[in-house]
Structure 1
Amino acid sequence: MALKGFRIRRLSGHRKYGAAATNLEDLLCKACALLQLPVADARLCLHEDGTEMTKARFQKIPENSELVLLAPGEEWQGYVSEIQRFLNAFSSRTEDIVRAARTLLSDEGSPMRRKLLSDLVHNLSENIGAENRVEDEKWFEGIESRFKTKSSYLRFSCESRIRSYMKEGPFDAESCPGRHSINPYGNKESRILFSTWNLDHVIEKKRTVLPTLAEAVQDREGKEVNWEYFYRLLFTVDNLKLVHIVCHKKANHNLSCDKRKVYRKRKRPPKIRKSLV
């Protein structure tokens, strides 16, 4: 049988070695010798997806495929394992990852990969845990010195918004199909971008709520207007959705107020019981 060549690496290393063999047993022996690993219980698998090599697969796998040599107890799941290793590096090598991503961005041509790298740099550059001005001075650039914390500034600028990742959408959708998300506590760019998000009334204030309220006051005919219902629609978050400016629909919402809640029953005064003399 003809020799087949492969590229072989260890689980914990990136250096690859070339090896050629006519069968799996021969390839495994050569791989263990190159990478200084005992042959006993050692295994070879495809780097791409973690498929373990067998005698039958040895004949089907294309020449020059990349293989991983595994010691007893080691596992490899292909690209899933690569992603896990990459995510684990975030906590300890964040600055190195950002530098590497920016280097790739300088000459990266693929639009999708550029988007992924840009998002990666943006997210890793966030300093969400910092709250005080001294902990994240860049975030506070352009903000009056009287604001000492992120919370105090965001409370001032947008009291009705919440501190978390915000995934909302148009008034007629449960969530945004564009999956816009932002955490204004992350960095200066996120804080500025946050100001472009709008709070949109689900039942429109000018076109629906106010005209319905005016009509209810004029035509109540002895009924009591449910002012609490209108208050919630006008002045609380019950009738508001946070929406990215791109997804803010300016057209008529065609939603009406709940007619059953426009009026409420008058509370009858308690009956005065005459005391017996």
Structure 2
Amino acid sequence: MFGLFGKNKPVKIRGVDDNRKYGVAAKNVKELLKKGCKLLKLPLPGAHVCLYADGTKVTEEFFPSLPDNADVVLLSRDQTWSGVACDISQLLMVDRHGDGLIEAAQGLLTDELSPKRRKILADLLLNLEDRSELESREEDEEWFKGVDARFKTKSAYMKSNCESRIRGYMKEVDDATKTIQKAKVRAEYLKASQCLLEMLKTARYNGCYFDRTKKEPDRLCTQEGWFTCQGSFDQQACQSFHSVNPYSSRESRIVFSTWNLDHRIEKRRAVIPALQEALQNHKSADVNLNYFYGLLFTRENLKLVHIVCHKKGAHNLLCDTKKMFRRAGDANKGKQDKGKRRRLI
């Protein structure tokens, strides 16, 4: 048989608890075990070899089909190997902290060729570099690279980041004024827009959504700063379990900037046009601006989604016509209050 009498086959061998790899050439598994046990100082009786990638046991029959320089793991009688997941598990079980654990993960990643395993290790390494417990610029200068000097804490920056997004939505509401042809309708729309702006100012542009120092349910993250994707507009939850902690590192902060506060009922295609339509034959005082405010600027209609879960096509969801106008009782109450004010004058 080729495995017993063929030429030497070069492989890269390592132990379960050692990330270093050693080059060994052997004609068969028997010779590989003998050389490997001597090199790694393991007892030969009961020793066996598995593929590093998926834990497949290397037998004499399987040995000839191994590619040159294949990665294998040498195990003693009672040891097992389940592939790269086991490798990562071993890494996490090692009593290392801080830079030592990060260095170990970097060592695995540097020596890894499989794209899938590199992705797993890269994600692990990103989470190991967690400095989320640090808050101020003085404590974590790396996090604040590229951030305006006026921000002294991570929470203050994240709050401002959310406010900027919400301000952008308000700007789109204002810009829609230019599309209205009738002067009377435009005037009422301007009143409605100004009212929405005042409501936003009172709510401080809902910057609390990204601020981990706020209380639940005002914030969208945990107290540590973890955000979880809420899934696309037509799903109850994210099917991929996306999560990120922008407070943990500069890289995570930049990644989070690609996440979206997505309108389930679309802002441009549905909400703003519905507001304009409502004002065609009604005054702004007759329109339920609280309803439109909720759709435009609050979690009532906003979902935080990973960029992959952000569906840019038409959502095909419309505003509820039953909620677009104030109830008759509310309108009459407003007129009564106005009458009382006139009598007082």
Task: Indicate the residue corresponding to 1:61 in structure 2.
Answer: 63
1:232 aligns with 2:330: no
* 8 Å Cα contact 2:154/2:247 also seen in 1: yes
1:137-177 C-alpha deviation (Å, 9 max, x unpaired)? 222344334x4321132123311333323435664566789
CA distance 1:190–1:34, change in 2 (3 Å): closer
Q: By how many angstroms is 1:237 displaced?
A: 1.5
Matched letter for residue 148 of structure 2? I
* 8 Å Cα contact 2:50/2:57 also seen in 1: yes
Matched letter for residue 73 of structure 1? D
CA distance 1:201–1:37, change in 2 (3 Å): closer
Q: By how many angstroms is 1:259 displaced?
A: 3.2
CA distance 1:195–1:72, change in 2 (3 Å): closer
- 1:36-75 matches, within 5 Å, as 36-40=41-45, 42-48=46-52, 49-52=54-57, 57-62=59-64, 68-75=73-80
Q: Which has the higher helix share?
A: 2
Task: Indicate the residue corresponding to 2:182 in structure 1.
Answer: none
TM-score by length of 2: 0.52
* 8 Å Cα contact 1:203/1:255 also seen in 2: yes
* 8 Å Cα contact 2:109/2:118 also seen in 1: no
Q: By how many angstroms is 1:116 displaced?
A: 7.5
Output the CA distance in 1 between the equivalents of 2:36 and 2:131: 45
Task: Indicate the residue corresponding to 1:271 in structure 2.
Answer: none
* 8 Å Cα contact 1:10/1:68 also seen in 2: yes
Task: Indicate the residue corresponding to 2:183 in structure 1.
Answer: none
Output the CA distance in 2 between the equivalents of 1:17 and 1:204: 62
**SS where residue 45 of structure 1 aligns?**
strand
Output the CA distance in 2 between the equivalents of 1:240 and 1:151: 21
**SS where residue 262 of structure 2 aligns?**
strand
Q: Match for 2:161 among 157, 161, 165? A: 157
1:132 aligns with 2:136: yes
TM-score by length of 1: 0.61
* 8 Å Cα contact 2:132/2:248 also seen in 1: yes
Q: CA RMSD in A?
A: 5.0
* 8 Å Cα contact 1:169/1:241 also seen in 2: yes
**Structure 2: runs of 5+ lacking an equivalent:** 163-206, 211-219, 331-345
- 1:173-212 matches, within 5 Å, as 182-192=244-254, 194-195=256-257, 197-205=259-267, 207-212=269-274
**Structure 1: runs of 5+ lacking an equivalent:** 269-277
Output the CA distance in 2 between the equivalents of 1:50 and 1:199: 42
Task: Indicate the residue corresponding to 2:16 in structure 1.
Answer: 11
Task: Indicate the residue corresponding to 1:79 in structure 2.
Answer: 84
* 8 Å Cα contact 1:17/1:34 also seen in 2: no
**SS where residue 138 of structure 2 aligns?**
helix
